[in-house]
Amino acid sequence: AQRVTQPEKLLSVFKGAPVELKCNYSYSGSPELFWYVQYSRQRLQLLLRHISRESIKGFTADLNKGETSFHLKKPFAQEEDSAMYYCALSGETSGSRLTFGEGTQLTVNP
Amino acid sequence: DTEVTQTPKHLVMGMTNKKSLKCEQHMGHRAMYWYKQKAKKPPELMFVYSYEKLSINESVPSRFSPECPNSSLLNLHLHALQPEDSALYLCASSKRLASSYNEQFFGPGTRLTVL
């Protein structure tokens, strides 16, 4: 069975501080990992996918197969980064199912 | 048009009512999805359609009945719901069945309350 674990329900940092949102997964096979973000009163949207290895809004995430992790990082948090962040997993054995973690609510304080 | 739209935004219904949720996209996507999201919880997959055919039913109770009349439209028919079915219902679409190359685009959701 596939599973995504986000250990922190809530995370609070100050503006300008580094931020790391943790994501660990369990999957037998080659996983496809994503980070989705939901800003207040806005729709869920894709932030990053591991396959593209890009930086979006200053966020990066590296897939570490040895540690089965896909942590989301940003060196200098901004107030507009405050949102709910979901790590999600898919893979060849799961068809088109996206399995989401429980989410981390990030608050960036001024 | 690069958005997924959903109507209505809010719906209140009694347990004996029949209602429908509607989802529309004009991005040429051939995979469409229904998710259920409870407050402060992640979305849970309900149904997946691929090329207008039901591909996945995640053991959803029969009081929820999906329909994909054409490649742009996805409906969710509701009948004899229970109060615990109250949730945000999200629709999503992707070019094909989701993979790393097929981003899922989500609609804003319909907030359903069952009395």
B93 touches chain A (CB under 8 A): no
Q: Residues of A near B (CB-CB distance < 8 A)? A: 32, 34, 42-46, 49-52, 86, 90, 95-98, 100-103
pLDDT at A31 over 90: no
Across the interface, do A32 and B104 touch by the CB < 8 Å criterion?
A: no
Tell me how far apart the alpha carbons of residues B91 and B37 are, in angstroms, rounded to a whole number.
Answer: 11
Tell me how far apart the alpha carbons of residues B91 and B106 are, in angstroms, rounded to a whole number.
Answer: 6
pLDDT in tens, B43-67: 999 999 999 999 999 999 999 999 9
Buried/exposed code over B21-44 (b: 16+ C-beta within 10 A; e: otherwise):
bbbbbeeebbbbbbbbbeeeebbb
Across the interface, do B100 and A103 touch by the CB < 8 Å criterion?
A: no
- Specify the pLDDT at position A98: 85
What's the mean pLDDT when you consider all of chain A?
A: 91
Residues of A in contact with B58 (CB under 8 A): 97
pLDDT at A1 over 90: no
Sign of the C-alpha dihedral computed for residues B51, B57, B60 and B63 taken in this order: positive
Q: Which residue of A has its CA nearest to B107?
A: A43
B31 touches chain A (CB under 8 A): yes
B12 touches chain A (CB under 8 A): no
Whose structure tokens read 């040429």?
B28
Q: Position B50: which residue type?
A: S
Q: Which residue of B has its CA nearest to A84?
A: B40
Tell me how far apart the alpha carbons of residues A71 and A59 are, in angstroms, rounded to a whole number.
Answer: 10
pLDDT in tens, B72-105: 999 999 999 999 999 999 999 998 876 666 688 9
Q: Which residue of A has its CA nearest to B103?
A: A46
- For residue B63, what are its two tokens? 């009081």
Residues of A in contact with B88 (CB under 8 A): none
Start-to-end Cα distance in chain B: 35
